[in-house]
Every structure is written in C-alpha cells, then in structure tokens.
Chain A
Amino acid sequence: MELGGLFANLSLGLSVAMTVQNLFWCLMGAVIGTAVGVLPGVGPTATMALLLPATYFLPPEGALIMLAGIYYGSQYGGSTTAILVNLPGEASSVVTTLDGHQMALQGRAGPALAIAAIGSFFAGTVATLAIAMAAPPLTKLAQQFAPADYFSLMALGLVFAVVLARGSALKAFGMIFLGMLLGLVGTDVNTGNTRFTFDISDLFDGLGFVPLVMGIFGIAEIMHNLADPQRRDLATAKISGLFPTMADIKRSIAPILRGTALGGLLGILPGGGAVLASFSAYTVEKKLSATPEKFGTGMIEGVAAPESANNAAAQTSFIPMLTLGIPSNAVMAMMIGGMMIHGIIPGPQVMEQRPGLFWGMIVSMWLGNLMLVVLNLPLIGIWVRMLLVPYRLLAIAILFFCCIGVYSLNNSANEVLIIALFGVIGYLLMKLDCEPAPLLLGFLLGPMMEVYMRRAMLLSRGDPWVFLQRPLSLTFLAIAVLLMVFILLPNIRRARETAFQE
C-alpha cells in the first residue's frame, strides 16, 4: 500500500484526536480504565457497560475514544496490582503475577512495573500502526463481500469465538444460540411480525443491549463477588527505584518483540484477545528460555512478554470490529454498542463515511498509551491505595450506577427491571460455568446474520447452495467446519476413553 495515504490518514486522525475535548475524553478513559484495572471484581466489560449510557451525552468521537481508553487502560492497571499485591486486576494479567510479584518481593517492583509499562507502550505503538496499515485493505476486501459471504464470515467468527474461549466448547455454542435467540426478541424488521415479546410493549423494539450487558456483567458480578469475598492481602511490596538496569532492558528486548508479534496476531482472531495472548506469550518465553526452571522466581522475561502481548492483542482486536463490523470479544461488543447508541452502523463503510471518527480513534489509542506511561508510573501509589476501598461499598456504588445508567437511557424504569432479571440469569449462567461473552456475540451477530441470510436467499432466488457456491463464503464455512471438528473430536475421544475405563 502507498505510504503517503497512511500518513494522510494518520495526520487526519491526529487532527481529530488532538482537540482539547478528545484529549480529555482519551485521558478520562485511560484513567477510568486504570482504576477498574486495578480493582479486582470490576472489569473493563462491566465498566464500559456502565458508561455506555453516559456516552450518549458525548459526541461520537469522544464516546468511542473514551470507551477504547477504558479497555487499554485496564490492561495497564491490571498489571500494576498483579505485580505489587499479587492480585491480577484483570484476567489478562494473571500470568504477570507469577514472575512480577516475585520480583516485587525481591525489592524489584520498580523495574517490573517499568518494563511492563515500556513493553505495553511499545506493543501498543506497533499494534496501532498495524491497525492503520491493515484497515484500508481489509475494508476494501470487505466491500466486495456479498451477503452470503458476510453470513459465512459471521458464522466463522462465532465458531472461532468458541474455539478460543476458555471452558467447555459445548456450553459456548449453547450460549451463542441463546444470545442469538435473545437478539431476535422484538419486531422482525423484514416482515413486521413480533417475536418472543409476550405482548409486552417495552419489548417491541427488542431487548436493549445496555440493560442486557449491565444485568449480565454488572448486577450478576455484584451478586457473585458479594457471595465470595476475596481476601485482599495488602502487604504491599515497597517500590524502590523505578528504573530497570541495562541488564534488565537487554533481557527484555526480545521477549517484548515476541510478545508484541504473538499478541498482535492472536488479538485479530475472534474470541482470543488479551487473555489468550498473555498466556501464550508466557508459555513461549518459558519454552525458548535457556533456564525454564527459573520462571516463577522473578524472571523479567515473564513480565515483559505477557504484558506486551496483552496490550498488543487489546489493540489489534479492534481490527475485525473496525473493518468488518464484527465484534471479536465482549469488549468489542461494547464498542459496537457505543457506535449504535450514536446511530453509526459498524462495518466497512465507517472508514469511508466517517474517516475522522475512524482515524481519530486509532490515533487516540496511541496517545492514550503514551498518557498511560507518563501518568501511571508516578501515580502507582495512588492506584494501589484504591485497593483499600472495600468491595462491600464498591458493590453499592456499582449497583446504583447500573440502575441510574439504564434509567437514563430512555427515562424508563421498566428497563431497570430488565437488568434485575438479567442479573439473576447472569448469576445462574456463572453457576453453570457458562461464559457470558459468546452470548453477547450471538446477541449482536444473530440479527445481522438473519439479515444477510435473507438477502443471500433473495439474491439466489431461494437457492441455499449460494452459501457454498461463492468461493469466499465456501472458504469461510469450510474453515468453520474444520475448526468445529477439531475442537469437538478430542472431547469425543476423551469421553469415549472415560466410558471405556468403566
């Protein structure tokens, strides 16, 4: 691709992102994100859900810039507590506790934090460039997609989300179908018939995205966390000397590069995202290391690689969302929710119709990463003190913000009742060990798939073979089937083995 176009795009983005307003929203997002990253039990998904109604009051650029900031900010915050107090604020920084906290116990918290921040910043920069370069060609490709191709691509995305998700694949499939079914509630736009509304007029427009996610991610999490109070050991390691030694830096360069590459690639895949990236990066470093037995005792490589990887993945997971309009994880589903609140239909047309928004958001991610490095390292003491707020109070505050947030969307008290319902459903699903993320993807993609399915069938005059006749569509479906066989086979084999043993 031509480099001039890239620079023109990035400078357009810079002009949008550098306005005082948008810098402020970027900062707000990064700060809020760090705060929720620090606090265990309050994740980026729940926070973004909480703030979705508030973004209604912002211009779309500011809204999306802030929402994005919350996501990558939480990656930074999560690693801070992982290193200092052995508490991963986010699932993506679980592996950082292994060596990061050991380093802190040895009095080397400073270098660990600094390397984590530097690695994250480097990864964020590379990933931002990757988005800027990958977006235009992917968008161009997406514009040639026929309805059948889109349908198959979405099916593939959902299968990917199952394959890469943690836990049982069967349950993940069930959750996708459940989500798609929930997405169908309301009036069918093509025919005007209502579906699953039970004659309740509030449901004629469908279930709201915000009440659904607030119930499942906000209310249900409060119930879960109150039931199972976490011990918070605040025996904080002292931070003495922030600067890593030359030896530290030398040892970290290769892990940061590998972590960035691995995380960047895994981030693009649906369902993967930051968690998978950090785990894989740690495993790779351990495999490549000359002294694998030393991992877990405070190896700086064990901090540098996963922290770079989770940040790279956090950034590149924007690629399918921005270019194809397909959310690859729960956080991207929130971003799409944010777009829809402002009447922007996510998809390849966003880049052409709203270039300012598109490139502004990409550049703001890089600025936000810079802000995080500059702001966070000196502020670490304050962040750690936030852990002193007991969860019993946080729970009350979160509950209130959920209620008022949903109420404020349409001034409708009935939507608050919906979050109570989905809170209980969310808790039930947690108890059954059913991850809620696939449900959310199904909820968003189900209605879209129906639209594309209908268009494809109309164009083919009712011939269902159209999904196998178009080469792109056939390729997507073939990969999806292969992945499904791949994931289901070991389960079947294991089930058989256990059955035979009896």
Chain B
Amino acid sequence: MRIKSGQDFAAGLLFIAVGVAAFWIGADYPMGTPQRPGTGVLPRILAWCLIGTGALLWLKALLVEGPNLTRWAWRPVIMISLATVAFALLVDRLGLVVAMLVSMTLAALGTPQTRWLEYAVFTLVMVAIGVGMFVYGLRMPIPIWPKDLPGALSWN
C-alpha cells in the first residue's frame, strides 16, 4: 500500500495522536453515573471520535489521491513565534519599549523582504503609538522602561 495523500495522512496522524493522548490523560477522570455523568464522559467520547476520524482519514489517504505535504516556511514560523514569546517574557521585566523593539525586530527577521531603514522608522512610530495609546490613552498598568536594570536582568 502506498500513501496517496501525505496531507490527509498527516491530518489523520494528528487527530489520532491527540485522541490517544486525551484518552490516556483522561483515563482516571471519573465517569459518574448515567443520571449524573462525570468529568470523564465527554473527554472519552471525544477521544474516540478523534481516533475514528483519524482512522478514516488514514483510510482515505491510502485509497484516494490527494495533495501531499508542502514545505514548512520555517523562517517566518520560528521568527514570529520567537517575537511573540519575546514580548511575553520581556514586557513585565524590561517594560513596553524594550519588549516592542525586541519583538518587532525578531518579526522583521522573519521575512527576507524587510528593508531596514523603512523598518526602523516604522518601528519607532509603532513604539510611540503603542506607548501613547495603551499606557497614556487606555492607562494600562504596563511599565514603559525597565524599573531597575540589574534587578530586571537577574530574571526571577
């Protein structure tokens, strides 16, 4: 047997994997009684449904020609993820300005099309808008600058 659609096969694999994981993690959730169904009823039903759907997709992948997997665009995926994570980790510790600068630079590295002069101007405008709108305008309690640099760098 040959896999005729890598895409369907991978989707099936995903559903089956999540289904099995859900079943395994939820194995000790109580089932309750028919009159008072417990915590574990729906997770178990859904796990079976996911496994079933995945199995049908596998069957389809073996029987029906379909699209194959396409290449992942690793660069934007990694850089945009890093940009988001950087914002999350930095905003409380080093303030909004640093978080924005780091995060937006990482995002700009996500595409070869970035023109750095244009990017620099745009980023400064965005930082001004961000601070003006969210800290001064909406009065969100976000630090703008690092409060004390050594403390912030100690990473607690």
Contacts and interface: CB of A to CB of B under 8 A. Distances in A.
B39 A432 contact: no
Contacts of B65: 498
Contacts of A416: 84-85, 87-88, 91
A91 B149 CA distance: 48
B27 interface: no
Nearest to A404: B134
B130 interface: yes
B85 A498 contact: no
Classify the secondary structure of A's interface with B. Answer: helix
B87 to A, nearest CB: 4
B63 A454 contact: no
A196 to B, nearest CB: 6
Nearest to B35: A462
B50 A393 contact: no
Interface in B65-85: 65, 67, 69-70, 72-73, 75-77, 80-81, 83-85
With most chain B CB atoms within 10 A of its CB, the pick from A57, A190, A433 is A433
Nearest to B34: A462
Contact of B80 (A414, A423, A458, A491): A423
A191 B33 CA distance: 13
B49 interface: yes
A173 to B, nearest CB: 5
B136 to A, nearest CB: 14
Contacts of A399: 80, 83-84, 103-104, 107
Given A184-B43, A457-B36, A170 B84 contact: no
A188 B43 CA distance: 11
Interface string A174-190: 10011011001000101
Nearest to B22: A181
A434 B89 CA distance: 31
A417 interface: yes
Interface string B10-34: 1100110011001001100110111
With most chain A CB atoms within 10 A of its CB, the pick from B59, B85, B87, B126 is B87
A214 to B, nearest CB: 10
Classify the secondary structure of B's interface with A. Answer: helix
B104 A423 contact: no
B113 A494 contact: no
A457 to B, nearest CB: 6
Contacts of B37: 453-454, 457
B34 A193 contact: no
Interface residues of B, number: 75
A457 B118 CA distance: 62
Given A180-B42, A181-B43, A171 B57 contact: yes
Contacts of A433: 7, 11, 67
A23 B63 CA distance: 56
A170 B56 contact: yes
A184 B69 CA distance: 30
A385 interface: no
A462 B53 CA distance: 28
Interface stretch (A222-230, A318-326, A339-347, A475-483): A222-230
Contact of A431 (B32, B57, B69): B69
A223 B30 contact: no
Given A177-B46, A396-B104, A414 B88 contact: yes
Given A170-B60, A461-B35, A396 B14 contact: no
Interface string B113-156: 11100110011001000100010001011100000000000000
Given A177-B53, A411-B140, A417-B88, A195 B64 contact: no
A174 B42 CA distance: 15
A450 interface: yes
Contact of A408 (B14, B36, B100, B134): B134
A174 B57 contact: yes
20 contacts: A174-B57, A177-B46, A193-B29, A195-B29, A227-B75, A393-B122, A396-B107, A396-B108, A397-B126, A399-B83, A399-B104, A407-B87, A408-B134, A408-B140, A411-B142, A413-B91, A420-B84, A432-B7, A433-B67, A495-B63
The 3 tightest CB contacts between A and B, nearest first, are A227-B73, A462-B34, A462-B35
